[in-house]
Structure 1
Amino acid sequence: MILTVDVGNTRIKAAVFEENNVLENFVFEKNELEKKIKKILEKFQNCSDLVVASVGNIEKESFLTFENRLNVHFFTHEDVFPFHNQYATPKTLGIDRMILAAGATLQFPKKNRLVIDAGTCITYDFIDENDNYLGGAISPGLRLRYESLHQFTAKLPLLTFEEPENYVGNSTKQAIHSGVVNGFVYEIDGFIDEYRAEFSNFIIILTGGDAEFLAKRLKNTIFANSNFLLESLNQTFQYKIDND
């Protein structure tokens, strides 16, 4: 069994895999890391490897405390990946984006793939049908959009996500919800349209905390999987073992 851990900007997600089968998923706060992993390992005592991808500010020592129980692995830019990295600044490419690109390459061979991860930020990652990672885009996620409207204006309130009642917001509150939520959806559909216009044999993979919400609203056909990063982490680890 393998325990995969994704340390994001906001929360930590984890999953236990037996080969490619997910046995259980977990979501918890960063300050709960050691306590939660201890409980997971008590429940799944046959875990042999702990595989970590981190973009958050968790110290490695928090994971290394479990080295006496299983093998601990941290993905870095030096690891082997199943795509050719054409990014102009490869060392600055987030490990989470590299894992997503690897998962898309392994799960959907010989296709043009666009991976959209809608979390704290929205990231777009494009891997062509020849397994070249070409890059993508980064923009603010839903929460950041609400927060920026409040922090960088004098009077706009800080709101949390709420579905707009109408495209035409008839109050400041509804205008903010319409602008943030509809703008979020229009942006993603617009990016997808641009890629579709240029590339055929195309698949879109949507993941992240807001994937379920978006899947119902995007006009484009997508493959939605909120756990795609954890699944990709497991598959990329298997690829690493086979190709090191």
Structure 2
Amino acid sequence: MVLTVDVGNTRIKAAVFEGGSILESFVFEKSDFENKIENILKKFQNCTDLVVASVGNIEKQAFLTFEKQLTIHFLTHEDVFPFINKYATPKTLGIDRMVLAAGATLQFPKQNRLVIDAGTCITYDFIDEQDQYLGGAISPGLRLRYEALHNFTAKLPLLTLEVPEHYIGDSTKEAIHSGVVNGFVYEVDGFIEEYRANFSNFIIILTGGDADFLAKRLKNTIFANSNFLLESLNQTFQYKIDND
């Protein structure tokens, strides 16, 4: 069994895999890290490997607490990946984006793939049918958009996600919801349309904390999987074992 752990900007996601099958997934706060990992390992005592992808601020030492129980693997830019990295600044490419690109390459061979990860930030990662990672885009996620309107203006309130009643907001509250939510959806649809216009044999993979919310509102057909990063982490680890 393999325990995969994704340390994000906001929360930690984890999953236990047996082969290619996910047995159980978990989401928890960074403050609960050690207790949650301990509980997972007590429940799944046959775990032999812990695979970590981290863009958050948990130190490696926190994971090494568990090195007597299983082998710990930190994925880095130096590992082998199933795509050719054409990013102009490859060392600055987040390991989470590299794992997503690897998962897309392995799960959907010989296709043009756009991976959209809707989390704290929304990231777009494009891998062409020749398995070349070409890059993408980064923009603020839903929560960051609400926070930015509040933090960088004098009087706009801090709101939480709510579906706008109409695209014409008839109050400050409704105008904010319309701007944030509809702007978010229009952005994603716009990016998808641009890629579709330039590439055929094309698949869109949507993941991240806001994936389900976003999937219901996009006009484009997509493959939505909120666990795609964790699945990709397991697949990338298996690929590393087979190709090291």
The 1-side partners of 2:73 and 2:34 are apart by 16
The 2-side partners of 1:175 and 1:104 are apart by 37
Match of 1:28 in 2: 28
| Deviation (angstroms), 1:236 | 0.3
The 1-side partners of 2:186 and 2:168 are apart by 15
Match of 1:157 in 2: 157
Match of 1:8 in 2: 8
Alignment map for 1:223-234 (pairs within 5 Å): 223-234=223-234
What is the identity, as a one-letter code, of the residue corresponding to 1:104? Answer: A
What is the identity, as a one-letter code, of the residue corresponding to 1:232? Answer: S
The 1-side partners of 2:71 and 2:141 are apart by 34
Post-superposition CA distance 1:123-144 (Å, at most 9, x none): 0000000000000000000000
Alignment map for 1:24-103 (pairs within 5 Å): 24-103=24-103
Aligned residue for 2:169, secondary structure, equals: coil
Alignment map for 1:176-215 (pairs within 5 Å): 176-215=176-215
The 2-side partners of 1:58 and 1:242 are apart by 28
| Deviation (angstroms), 1:82 | 0.1
What is the identity, as a one-letter code, of the residue corresponding to 2:209? Answer: G
The 1-side partners of 2:31 and 2:214 are apart by 29
Q: Calculate the TM-score normalised by the size of structure 2.
A: 1.00
Q: How many aligned positions are there?
A: 244
Q: How well do the aligned residues superpose, as a CA RMSD in angstroms?
A: 0.3
Match of 1:174 in 2: 174
| Deviation (angstroms), 1:155 | 0.6
Structure 2 gap ranges (5+): none
| Deviation (angstroms), 1:27 | 0.4
Q: Calculate the TM-score normalised by the size of structure 1.
A: 1.00
The 2-side partners of 1:41 and 1:147 are apart by 36
| Deviation (angstroms), 1:195 | 0.1
What is the identity, as a one-letter code, of the residue corresponding to 2:175? Answer: A
The 1-side partners of 2:34 and 2:105 are apart by 32
Post-superposition CA distance 1:61-91 (Å, at most 9, x none): 1100100000000000000000000000000
Aligned residue for 1:150, secondary structure, equals: helix
The 2-side partners of 1:202 and 1:170 are apart by 39
Aligned residue for 1:217, secondary structure, equals: coil
Structure 1 gap ranges (5+): none
| Deviation (angstroms), 1:31 | 0.9
Instruction: Tell me, yes or no, if structure 1 residue 107 matches structure 2 residue 104.
Output: no
